[in-house]
Amino acid sequence: MSDAQSVATPHDDPTTKRSVRDLVRAAISGWLGTALEFMDYQLYSLAAALVFAELFFSDEDPAMAVVAAMATYGVGYVARPLGAFFFARLGDKKGRTKVLFYTILLMGLATTLIGVLPTYSQVGLLAPILLVLLRIAQGFGAGAEISGAGVMLAEYAPAKRRGIIASLVALGTNCGTLLASAIWAILLVAFNEQEVIDWAWRIPFIGSAVIMLFAVWVRFNLKESPVFEERDDVVDGQALSRDETIKLATETGDIRTLEAMNRKPVKAFVIALLLRFGQAGNSGMIQTYLISYITVVLLLDRSIGVNAVIVSSLVAFITVPLSGWLGDRFGRKRMYTIWAIVALIVIVPTMLMIASKDTVQVFVGYVVLHNLAVMSFASLENLTLPELFGARNRYTYTAMAREIAAIAATGAGPVIAAAWVSAVTGSFVPIVVMLVFFTLCALVAAIWMPEVAGRDLTDPRDAI
């Protein structure tokens, strides 16, 4: 479809105002940004599990150094809600594209600079302080990145294909995780342990600048979301104030907008939080702490955990689009419920396999657990959260729900797990308890939520 042919009347689906080329460009932009975000975070999480405890913290107590490294990982999540609130509100007022440019630039620069930091042996306490500051900057930028990519694709994609198209965002997380894990695997093979600790760990952080620059270039040519432009309260590319919106809706008899302005998004927001707890909590436990558990507690070779992540990420190239397609075919509510129940069933068997220390069982257990308890949810989440909220504040509420849950789940989860497992001398029972809790959150939300698949995203009202 050419740009000239894609002009729509106010009653048309706003996605027809964009050509297929525009949709592809938006998908690539979202994929690149999300891939960079998760590559950045996976680079750090693997570094925290493998070498950062030694590099940036005192080696007097190795167990506490691991806890400190995980706590620094969590600091990035403290900054994410602040970034989400700041950037997402800007995105709801002035458009998605400007914000997506700012977020990727800030996030990418912070990650690159981690690669040139001095270590604890060189500057003492200044090393972890600088690391924390960069983690805060990284988190501030990342706070609105994946939410913006999900909202952008949701508002670009045809209603009946949102799940499969928005699964590209989740595939971006998978690509970023895979790339970071592959880089670490290569480092561990190409260099001996001392070389990795001395200098080679810096390579992936500095090298991430290449992807950042490419993503920034792509976003220069990205058109604004058609749903944002279609909003009645957007004039000359900027949203009207609340009072101006109410006045306009009263004058035009816009019942939907008046109803939306008088309703609070409490139910929709709580459901979004619980759904996010399920995915984010499990992600922090499995993609971050479990790698450290395999290396530090089970005393297996460092490469085993990294290679397990790589294999699982490859399998997720099937899991993610399949989950998105099933969400389109059978609805978000039904598929969330099914995935949550299946995840609850496999938690104990897969953890028993991992705890066996048998390499094959560790790989199989990790791959099954990661795909069913993390990646299946991630695919659905990128569409379900934007579909829960109305057009006027969609970006803000989506981002805040994601990041508030991330603090309590992904940020705090690995820290609590590290301390709890240490207290019970290496037992995996705390990991099981936390995974069951997070998955139950998603199940409760799935039972409570309405069906939102194919919902009219120009509607200013929330879904519930």
Calpha distance 178→442 (Å, rounded)? 25
CA angle 222, 225, 231 (to 5 degrees): 150
| 268: in domain | yes
**Tokens read off for 323:** 């989950």
pLDDT at residue number 15: 65
**Is 381 part of any domain?**
yes
Residue 25: inside a domain: yes
Q: What is the CA radius of gyration of the chain?
A: 22
CATH assignment at residue 301: 1.20.1250.20
pLDDT in tens, the chain (464 residues): 333 333 333 445 676 667 777 888 888 888 888 888 878 877 887 787 677 777 877 665 666 666 677 677 667 777 888 999 999 999 999 988 889 888 988 988 998 999 999 988 888 888 888 888 898 898 898 888 888 888 988 888 888 888 888 887 778 877 887 788 788 888 888 888 888 888 888 999 998 888 888 888 888 778 888 888 888 888 888 888 889 999 988 988 889 989 988 888 999 999 999 999 999 999 989 987 888 888 888 888 878 887 888 899 889 999 999 999 999 999 999 999 999 999 999 999 999 999 998 999 999 999 999 999 999 999 999 889 999 999 999 999 999 998 888 888 877 788 888 888 888 888 889 999 999 999 999 999 999 999 999 888 989 999 98
For residue 462, being part of any structural domain is answered with: no
CA distances from 25 to 18, 143, 190 (A): 11, 22, 36
Residue 396: predicted pLDDT: 94
178 lies in some domain? yes
Q: How far apart are the first and last CA of the chain?
A: 35
b/e burial code for range 167-192 (CB count within 10 A of at least 16 → b):
bbbbbbbbbbbbbbbbbbbebbeebe
Tokens matching residue 33 = 């940004």
195 in a structural domain: yes
CB hemisphere CA count around 284 (13 angstroms): 30
Distance CA 426, CA 437 (A): 20
- Using alpha carbons, select from 48, 269, 29 the residue that is nearest to residue 138: 48
* Residue 435 covered by a domain: yes
Cβ atoms of residues 99 and 33 within 8 Å:
no
Judge whether 460 and 260 are in contact, CB under 8 Å.
yes
In tens, the pLDDT along 388-399 reads 999 999 999 999
Domain-located, residue 349? yes
Contact assessment for residue 51 and residue 181, using Cβ atoms and an 8 Å cutoff: no
238 DSSP β-pair partners: 235
Domain range for 298: 18-224+248-448
Domain count, the chain: 1
In this prediction the pTM is 0.82
Contact 84, 144 (CB under 8 A): yes
